[in-house]
Amino acid sequence: DQQVKQNSPSLSVQEGRISILNCDYTNSMFDYFLWYKKYPAEGPTFLISISSIKDKNEDGRFTVFLNKSAKHLSLHIVPSQPGDSAVYFCAAKVRDMRFGAGTRLTVKP
């Protein structure tokens, strides 16, 4: 039962443009959502989060949007940089924390 879904395995964007990564969830009990960045042979690194009582959270170049009625969240990266190239995971929490399958972002110079 995949409660958190990332339907795009990969995304390629040009440096300086916007990257939009999407995530859908099925469990309406989730009350906290997170995005993680992961490099090979390393543990995931926290990027940004949002509580279910909000619909937007910004941190520098990163913004997360939450649409509870659609059970959908997205991560916007503006402007995208080559160093942003990594696998991005969305996650959702109640007591436990469930992850999507990840989206590999490639930012081309």
Q: What beta strand segments (E) does 1-109 contain?
A: 4-5, 10-14, 19-25, 32-38, 45-51, 56-59, 62-67, 72-77, 86-93, 97-99, 103-108
CB of 16 to another protein, least distance (A): 28
Q: How far apart are CA 1 and CA 57, in angstroms?
A: 28
Residue nearer to another protein on the CB measure, 83 or 96:
96
CB of 37 to another protein, least distance (A): 11
- Does residue 11 interact with another protein by CB under 8 A? no
Give the x/- contact pattern for another protein in 70-99, rule: CB under 8 A: -------------------x-x-x-xxxxx
Handedness of CA 31, 26, 105, 66 (dihedral sign): negative
Report the amino acid identity of residue 70. Answer: A
Q: Which stretch binds another protein (CB under 8 A): 22-30, 46-54, 64-72, 74-82?
A: 46-54
- List interacting residues with another protein (CB under 8 A): 1, 6, 31-32, 34, 41-46, 49, 51, 89, 91, 93, 95-102
